[in-house]
Amino acid sequence: MAGLVFTLLVIAAAMALAMHRAPLWLWAAAGVAALMAWQSGLFVGQYDVPRPGLLGVLAWVPVVVLGLLSLPALRRSLVVEPAFRMVKGILPKVSETEQQALDAGTVGFDAELFSGQPDWNKLRAVPAIHLTDEERAFLEGPTDELCRMIDDWQIRFREKEIPEEIWDFVKQHGFLGMLISKAHGGLGFSAQAQSLILGKIASRSPDVSTIVMVPNSLGPGELIEKYGTDEQKHYYLPRLARGEEVPCFSLTGPTSGSDAATMRDIGTVTNGMHEGKETIGIRLSWDKRYITLGPKATLVGLAFRLFDPDNRLGRGEDLGITVALIPADHTGVNIGRRHLPSGAAFPNGPNWGKDVFIPLEFVIGGEKMVGQGWRMLMECLSAGRAISLPSSATAGAKSMLRFTSAYARIRKQFGLPISHMEGIEEPLTRMIEAAYVNEAARAVTASMVARGEKPSVISALMKYTTTERMRQSVNDAMDIHGGRAICDGPTNYLQSAYQMVPVGITVEGANILTRTLITFAQGALRAHPYLYKEVQAAQNPDARAGLEAFEKAFNGHIAFSLSNASGALFHNLTGGLFGDVPEKAYGTAEWYRQLWRASRSFALVSDLTVALLGGGLKTKQRLTGRMADALSELYMLACVLKRYEDDGKPAGDRLIVELAARNALYRFQQALGGVIDNFPVAPARYLMRALVFPLGRRMKPASDRLARQVAKLALEPGEVRDRLTRDIFVSRDVNDPTGLLEVTLDKVIAALPAEKKLEKAIRDGKVRRYHGIDWFADAVDQGVITEVEAGQLREVERLVARVIAVDHFDPAEVKPNYAPVGHNSGAANTFAAA
């Protein structure tokens, strides 16, 4: 017994030392104390541990080693220097573009999750949603007006084009210059306001939101605002803000898609003629495709690689990626042809040019920004990616829920609203979770950007996570609607979202790449508390300074790893009972504890993954993808808790938060478990399994009972449904297919008492419901319902018939409206294939 107590005491002391990142001398001192206690016979009972013999002598070896290593000079020569040499030797060469991508953007709350000990104050310090009066008025004024003007069918099918009155409206009201500062004639709206405005438009029309999103995202406006010369700012920004210039941004080409940095578009510094004068400039050849707004653009932002073979600019031959602004009507620019992306109507197409001469002043930022293009793009991408796609994906999830919950409640089969069937409840609950979680993360992330952060890792995970959830929601909405959503026409309110899903998935970093390559690989380097410092130290050309910096980071890293190992084991053994909880976490304390526990496990596994796989991470994408998923679940859950608090913990949302938390923790466990099960280094696999799942995989997803309770919340008009779908455009016009849904839902619910009476009479055979019989009149005659109730039911019947109606057309009406002339495969219209 005494031996058992002694062993437990030693383990507890070791865990405490590791968790508190004790210095080596303290470890050595604790070792001495433990050995002396053991060898003094204090804990040796009659049937217990034998008195120390040879083992007792050997046990001093690690303690002496620890004691010696606590001497800095010895530790440096025996451990740190060899480790430094090894890291230097194995570090893969980081290309300049990779380095610029790594350096761009900021690290924020993601670092807390990587630390294994998140500081909840940092989460709570992110402001709740806040709009100025002007921004709120814009969201509820011109944005609503724009939404009311939009006729999705006219845009997608009749015109296959954004109508001129919509272009005029968005230009006139400044929608295209939301990110341009007031000083330069723009609206100067915060990231939060931009996100909400874009989202509301997206809930009405993905096409219209695209034409507003692009000028307010990565592109000429943002690049000029941040890096332009004074002349460029004064000339272009007010014109862009007023919509006198329509910009596009051309990065992607046939050979450079996801790997945009390998573009073959080149410019050469040379003399040429511009506006009748000989001047120094760039002779450019390029071939770009998929460029949004391209066919309508007046101003082309163009990324290309610049060379200066004669060293005219005095900076060597390969100047790197450069971004220029070229008027679309500049001699030699070929632009205007269109792609047809996924049935969408927003302008999108290729552009190209061969040996086009542009003066140096066309370069954004002028001569001094030559070669800085990639850095500029990466810096802007971190913020832009956190806003554009997450806001439209969130609006997508919310509007899918709004429409589908109404339809499922209205549509009946087998004598019941389909929403009452468990098979339908299942996808509906998923949609509720997606709408709540996406909105939570959108709001927190937009607030981070609004206060000046450029969260590179968070923006990557937000991009793929929110669009994947939106994709699932759209598919769920389609399934729940059945044939009603498949047949296209003016009353089909799902098709545009369904068709546009792949666009959101592909642009601004296609999801597979963003998940498997960018989120975790970049996150582990940027947000890990020591790794990046070690890598930077190892790359320092000054070896002495490098070693010093490395030693500091390395010592911290070792303590961090030990702390993670013991912390993960401790919290996983105790079921998170002792996890850190912020003040006033009434009702959410359990989820904070579990999040803390999960973050401990994540920190451990990510640390070992990076340490043991190193440069091999890029190819182990099944593992990095799962790590990205695990990180996403942690981040999204943190945002859910924050949203619930920021909203004032409404009672109606409590179950949604519980469902989201249980599912997030379960998916987190599956993702991390997948990494551990497939980890290629066997000893690490066993160690991680023992530390992360000492009692097995005990997290369970939300129960059917909880899911059922949550599904019911969205099926009735009221505050929970409104909050779940807040800030999307909601029509109440019965002549609008989505307005018809809203009005019908209200009337269906109001007519429930009368309906119950009628249904009972039909079941009892008192009233017969067949074509040719007026069963409402019959029911009134028999005293089943009153005249007023009959009127109510008649109206519901008429409205429901309209809700479930499907469009049909005269064949002549629907013949393709693009004549098959002038088509080519793309290759033929470019110089590249010539």
Ligand X SMILES: Cc1cc2nc3c(=O)[nH]c(=O)nc-3n(C[C@H](O)[C@H](O)[C@H](O)COP(=O)(O)OP(=O)(O)OC[C@H]3O[C@@H](n4cnc5c(N)ncnc54)[C@H](O)[C@@H]3O)c2cc1C
Q: Which residues are catalytic?
A: 508
Contact with ligand X (CB under 6 A) among 205, 252, 438, 472: 252
The CB-of-249 to ligand X minimum distance in angstroms stands at 5
Instruction: Rank residues 142 and 343 by Cβ distance to ligand X and give the closer one.
Output: 343
The CB-of-306 to ligand X minimum distance in angstroms stands at 17
Instruction: Rank residues 288 and 662 by Cβ distance to ligand X and give the closer one.
Output: 288
Which residues lie closer than 8 Å to 821 by C-beta, 6 or more apart?
none
272, 278 in Cβ contact below 8 A?
A: yes
The span from the CA of 567 to the CA of 18, in Å, is 8
The CB-of-219 to ligand X minimum distance in angstroms stands at 8
The CB-of-322 to ligand X minimum distance in angstroms stands at 15
Instruction: Rank residues 233 and 515 by Cβ distance to ligand X and give the closer one.
Output: 515
* String of DSSP letters for 101-135: HHHSSB--HHHHHHHTS--HHHHHTSPPP---HHH
Pairing type for strands 266-274 and 299-307 reads parallel
Question: Which of 228, 115, 223, 124 lies closest to 179, judged by CA?
Answer: 223
SS3 for 421-480 is CHHHHHHHHHHHHHHHHHHHHHHHHHHHHHCCCCEHHHHHHHHHHHHHHHHHHHHHHHHH
The CB-of-674 to ligand X minimum distance in angstroms stands at 17
- Tell me the β-bridge partners of 351: 288, 335
In this chain, which stretch among 120-128, 231-239, 512-520, 569-577 interacts with ligand X, using CB under 6 A?
512-520
The CB-of-125 to ligand X minimum distance in angstroms stands at 34
Instruction: Rank residues 80 and 345 by Cβ distance to ligand X and give the closer one.
Output: 345
Contact with ligand X (CB under 6 A) among 507, 524, 604, 636: 507
The CB-of-287 to ligand X minimum distance in angstroms stands at 12
Radius of gyration of the chain (CA): 31
Instruction: Rank residues 290 and 436 by Cβ distance to ligand X and give the closer one.
Output: 290
Question: Which of 819, 280, 206 lies closest to 503, judged by CA?
Answer: 206
Instruction: Rank residues 248 and 408 by Cβ distance to ligand X and give the closer one.
Output: 248
249 binds ligand X (CB under 6 A): yes
Q: Of 258-277, which residues contact ligand X (CB under 6 A)?
A: 258
Instruction: Rank residues 405 and 514 by Cβ distance to ligand X and give the closer one.
Output: 514
The span from the CA of 511 to the CA of 509, in Å, is 6
Instruction: Rank residues 190 and 216 by Cβ distance to ligand X and give the closer one.
Output: 216
Residue 416: strand, helix, or coil: strand
348 binds ligand X (CB under 6 A): yes
291 binds ligand X (CB under 6 A): yes
In this chain, which stretch among 475-483, 504-512, 521-529, 818-826 interacts with ligand X, using CB under 6 A?
504-512
The CB-of-496 to ligand X minimum distance in angstroms stands at 14
Instruction: Rank residues 26 and 512 by Cβ distance to ligand X and give the closer one.
Output: 512
Contact with ligand X (CB under 6 A) among 31, 188, 281, 341: 341
Q: Of 706-725, which residues contact ligand X (CB under 6 A)?
A: none
Contact with ligand X (CB under 6 A) among 399, 473, 495, 506: 506
In this chain, which stretch among 364-372, 460-468, 505-513, 781-789 interacts with ligand X, using CB under 6 A?
505-513
Residue 502's Cβ-side half-sphere holds a number of Cα atoms within 13 Å equal to 7
Question: What is the total count of residues that contact ligand X (CB under 6 A)?
Answer: 20
- Please list, residue by residue across 394-426, b when 16 or more beta carbons sit within 10 angstroms of its beta carbon and e when fewer do: bbbbbbbbbbbbbbbbbbeeeeebbbbeeebbe
The CB-of-669 to ligand X minimum distance in angstroms stands at 25
In this chain, which stretch among 159-167, 246-254, 351-359, 769-777 interacts with ligand X, using CB under 6 A?
246-254
In this chain, which stretch among 323-331, 506-514, 739-747, 811-819 interacts with ligand X, using CB under 6 A?
506-514
The span from the CA of 807 to the CA of 800, in Å, is 15
Residue nearest to ligand X (CB): 257
Instruction: Rank residues 517 and 785 by Cβ distance to ligand X and give the closer one.
Output: 517
* String of DSSP letters for 257-302: SSSGGG---EEEEEEEEETTEEEEEEEEEEEEEEEETGGG-SEEEE
CB-neighbour burial class of residue 502 (10 A; exposed 0-12, middle 13-18, buried 19+): middle
376, 226 in Cβ contact below 8 A?
A: yes
517 binds ligand X (CB under 6 A): yes
The span from the CA of 550 to the CA of 542, in Å, is 12
636 binds ligand X (CB under 6 A): no
Could you tell me how far CA 801 lies from the centroid of its own chain?
39
Q: Of 613-632, which residues contact ligand X (CB under 6 A)?
A: 621
Contact with ligand X (CB under 6 A) among 290, 403, 668, 693: 290
The span from the CA of 305 to the CA of 310, in Å, is 16
Contact with ligand X (CB under 6 A) among 397, 503, 549, 785: 503
830, 264 in Cβ contact below 8 A?
A: no
The CB-of-512 to ligand X minimum distance in angstroms stands at 4
Instruction: Rank residues 551 and 629 by Cβ distance to ligand X and give the closer one.
Output: 629
737, 769 in Cβ contact below 8 A?
A: no
The CB-of-620 to ligand X minimum distance in angstroms stands at 11
In this chain, which stretch among 486-494, 513-521, 697-705, 720-728 interacts with ligand X, using CB under 6 A?
513-521
215, 247 in Cβ contact below 8 A?
A: yes
Distances (CA, A) of 411 to 416, 722, 744, 760: 8, 20, 11, 19
257 binds ligand X (CB under 6 A): yes
266, 356 in Cβ contact below 8 A?
A: no
The span from the CA of 293 to the CA of 220, in Å, is 12
The CB-of-16 to ligand X minimum distance in angstroms stands at 42
292 binds ligand X (CB under 6 A): yes
In this chain, which stretch among 508-516, 673-681, 732-740, 826-834 interacts with ligand X, using CB under 6 A?
508-516
Which residues lie closer than 8 Å to 133 by C-beta, 6 or more apart?
none
In this chain, which stretch among 7-15, 243-251, 396-404, 669-677 interacts with ligand X, using CB under 6 A?
243-251
251 binds ligand X (CB under 6 A): yes
In this chain, which stretch among 44-52, 249-257, 323-331, 790-798 interacts with ligand X, using CB under 6 A?
249-257
516 binds ligand X (CB under 6 A): yes
Determine which helix (DSSP H) or strand (DSSP E) holds 357, and give its type and residue range. Answer: strand 348-359
Residue 509: strand, helix, or coil: coil
737 binds ligand X (CB under 6 A): no
Instruction: Rank residues 21 and 339 by Cβ distance to ligand X and give the closer one.
Output: 339
The CB-of-294 to ligand X minimum distance in angstroms stands at 7
* String of DSSP letters for 4-31: HHHHHHHHHHHHHHHHTT--HHHHHHHH
Instruction: Rank residues 306 and 604 by Cβ distance to ligand X and give the closer one.
Output: 306
The span from the CA of 477 to the CA of 705, in Å, is 22
408, 418 in Cβ contact below 8 A?
A: yes
Task: Please identify which residue in the block is written with the tokens 């014109």.
Answer: 239
513 binds ligand X (CB under 6 A): yes
Return the structure tokens found at 751: 């007519």
Phi, psi of 278 (to 5 degrees): -80, 135
510 binds ligand X (CB under 6 A): yes
Task: Write out the residues near ligand X by the rule CB under 6 A.
Answer: 249-252, 257-258, 290-292, 341, 348, 503, 506-507, 510, 512-513, 516-517, 621
